[in-house]
Amino acid sequence: MILWNHCGGYPCFRFISLLSEVILTLVRPLPSEPLSPQRILVIRLSALGDVVQAMPALEALGRLFPDAEIDAVTESLSFPLLRRHPRLKNVICFPRTEIRRHWRTAETRGQAREQLADLRSILHQNYYDLIVDWQSNLRSAFIRMQTRHRHVLQLHPADGGELPKWWYGWRPRKAAGRVHRIERAMHLVRELGYSGETPQGEISIADSSLTLTDKELAAVPLLLHPFVSAFGRFKEWPLTYWKELAAELTEAGHVVWLSGGPGERESLAQLALEVGSSVAVAPETQNTADLAALVQQSRAVVAADTGIIHLASLLGIPAMGLYGPKDPAIHGPTGTNSMVLRSGVPCSPCLLRRCDHSVCMSSLTVAMVRSGIDQLLKTNTLQR
């Protein structure tokens, strides 16, 4: 009762249950034969790019266990993109942002409790032979504790798994090492027995409600995506550079659309106004399924290190990523029709979470990006 009251009426981490699960797992021996799970739950939360980069591993998991039913847990942002995924039977939405917002005030805290109770009820409906936790942090551990399951496979601590070594669940025998995020996710599937090539990955836009006019359908635009999430603003390319680039591209005869999230429409309209009437704001997208449909309509996508780059790469659309703080060998787009540009300043890449100057991005000139776009378009035209 004390624990219940301390957590505002909900036992957030179900401490007693966790202790029992830890004890049971510690004494449970690893199976002597390969697993043959009939029901699997995969967990991948966080940002759009992180979820998209787990799609090749999800396809590999489906190939490895073709008779298994696979469910997934993801957050609200990626839910529309996964809801019709060909490898998934059910997609469960973890409305973390909404729960946090409702929990902040006493008047709405009851809604947060109801959302948590609904989530636990959904997760508790099925028994899972295997959970593959591509997140491996406290958020995903919370999800796991709401389920009934037998085995858990999670990231090796050296590969970015944030859970302490004593936390229950299996880990790969060896760390994947300094590999691309796609290969880090694949490392868990290979630990289960997959030995093939890394798949391209799959996605569905069946849930998209994006509607385009006949004029918009006839256009095959270059899609410029100037903004990144608020958490990673230091990864943005300067807006003055975007304006100059957009003007040069339209002068060269390209159709240019500016895209962004629902909260960025006003900024995009101002940017388009400053460039001139030849640049248009892309049709509004309501969710990530709409964003995928918009990307499919495009001739190419140009953006900084953000989710739309990985989405374009997965969909086979030519993509150019502008990188500075993050190492593209780990975080960059991987498709054969993708390209990464860096300025090459000595401090790039780095491990900083924020930066006061972002010289790595401001040193990436418009001329460099324009030349890269010309090369990207030429290469993909020849391939076609």
b/e burial code for range 80-112 (CB count within 10 A of at least 16 → b): bbbbebebbeebbbbbbebbeebbeeeeebeeb
The Cα 21–Cα 195 span in angstroms is: 31
Q: What are phi and psi of 327, to 5 degrees?
A: -80, 115
Residue 170 per-residue DSSP state:
B
What is the mean pLDDT of each successive set of 10 residues along the chain, which is 384 residues long?
Answer: 39 52 45 81 94 98 98 96 95 95 94 96 96 95 95 92 85 93 97 95 89 90 92 88 96 95 91 90 94 96 95 96 94 92 90 84 95 92 51
pLDDT value of position 104:
94
Structure tokens at 339: 């390209």
pLDDT at 9: 44
CATH node for 214-383: 3.40.50.2000
Which segments of the chain does DSSP mark as H helices, in order?
2-6, 15-27, 48-52, 55-64, 79-82, 96-103, 109-123, 138-145, 181-191, 214-218, 239-251, 265-275, 288-296, 307-315, 328-331, 359-362, 366-383
Q: Enumerate the domain spans of the chain.
A: 2-191, 214-383
State both tokens at 286.
């309501």
The 10s digit of each residue's pLDDT in 308-363 is 999 999 999 999 999 999 999 999 999 889 999 998 899 998 888 788 888 999 99
Q: How much is the pTM?
A: 0.89
pLDDT of residue 138: 93
The architecture in CATH of the region 2-191 reads 3-Layer(aba) Sandwich (3.40)
User: Minimal CA–CA distance to 242: which of 252, 255, 256, 253?
Assistant: 256
Instruction: Mention every residue, 6+ apart, whose C-beta is less than 8 A from residue 352.
Output: 234, 325
Lookup result for tokens 């997140």: 135
pLDDT at position 31 is 56
